[in-house]
Amino acid sequence: MNTTFWVFTIIIGLVAIFIPRVGLLALYKNYRAGQAREQVEDALKHLLDREQQGRHASPESLGGTLDLPRAKTTRLIEDMETQGLVESRGNEIHLTAKGERWALHVVRAHRLWERYLADEARMPLKQIHDEAHKREHSLTEAQLNELDAALGHPTRDPHGDPIPTREGKLNRAEGMPITAWQPDRPARIVHLEDEPALAYQQILAAGLRLGQDIRIIEKTPNRYVLSDGENEYRLAPAVASNIHVAALPESEMLKREAVPLFELSHDQRGEIVTLDEAVQGFTRRRFLDLGLTPGTMIYPELKNFFGDPRAYRVRGTLIALRKDQAAQIWVKPI
């Protein structure tokens, strides 16, 4: 009886290991294939990033980014060449048309996930990059299109980077590092570089954000002092260089006499002037669906003992907005 039991146990064990698709061996193979795919996609992202900067990747830059020794980097490049994703020209690695399409798919997935995590999951900005990196490898093209539509087809991620379209078009990033900006000239933050992570965390900890209007009030070899008119921000030059700015748009003149909606006192009427440029995707679409369009009258109503959220009357309808949402709607007090 003992012999029969052990034979049966061994057979069950072998079945559990070798059964197609769901056996341990199949699961292990799928795991290894997933790891290999992620490595290829990370490599493609690096190549696309370099080409967007007007440069081309090299085996050294690729190995450094992926933390791979030279031998494994060489094998990875050979594998991608076999798949028709890249071409080696001397010490330069170039994306093929097929490789570029795949790279744009991964970048689009990453940036849409960041938009979702920031806007809908309300995850802290310092955490969204790593979480999006975990998720970016899992979506098919159809699933990515559904996510894009659900978010309202946003054009930029929470850092200000452009999101590739479903047709594979990627607009160039706006602005320049603030270290190259003219002192005392007003500018708007259009991009916050999230790598290296330590510099990005210092920027967030200082309280700087996308869409904020600032100017340089002091510039030395050791520090930059920025001001938004109310607060001052002191940063090392290496950290400040991760803040990209652009000239204020013409629409900014509309906000000169405007205030954030949450500053209206009880029953004080205001005329909506514009929505903050930082409002993107699903949030912007929801605001517009609620009738929060330029020229519309709006005013606070029904005081909240706790202060947040607050009720507002717009187009005969009562809506509730949190303070951080109302801060993104600019109104002219009437």
Digit-coded pLDDT (tens) for 90-145: 999 999 999 999 999 999 999 999 999 998 888 998 899 999 999 999 889 999 99
Of 199, 108, 192, 210, nearest in space to 149 by CA: 108
Least confident of 198-202, 257-261, 300-304: 300-304
**Domain ranges for the chain:** 2-95, 176-248, 253-333
Per CATH, is 176-248 categorized as 2.30.30.90?
yes
Confidence of residue 20 (pLDDT cuts 50, 70, 90): low
Same-fold call for 176-248 versus 253-333: yes
Q: Are 203 and 240 in contact (CB under 8 A)?
A: no
At position 108, the amino acid (one-letter code) is: R
Mean pLDDT calculated for residue range 315-330: 91
Per CATH, is 253-333 categorized as 2.30.30.90?
yes
Average pLDDT across the chain, whole number: 87
pLDDT of residue 254: 64
**Whether residue 267 has pLDDT greater than 70:** yes
Q: What is the CATH number of domain 2-95?
A: 1.10.10.10
Of 99, 122, 112, 100, nearest in space to 144 by CA: 112
Percent of the chain residues topping a pLDDT of 70 = 87
**Whether residue 23 has pLDDT greater than 60:** no
Mean pLDDT calculated for residue range 188-193: 92
CA dist list (Å): 332 to 212, 259, 263, 277: 19, 6, 11, 17
Determine if the pTM surpasses 0.85.
no
pLDDT of residue 216: 95
pLDDT of residue 204: 93
pLDDT of residue 93: 96
Of 184, 188, 195, 129, nearest in space to 158 by CA: 129
At position 180, the amino acid (one-letter code) is: A
Whole-angstrom distance, CA of residue 239 vs CA of residue 193: 10
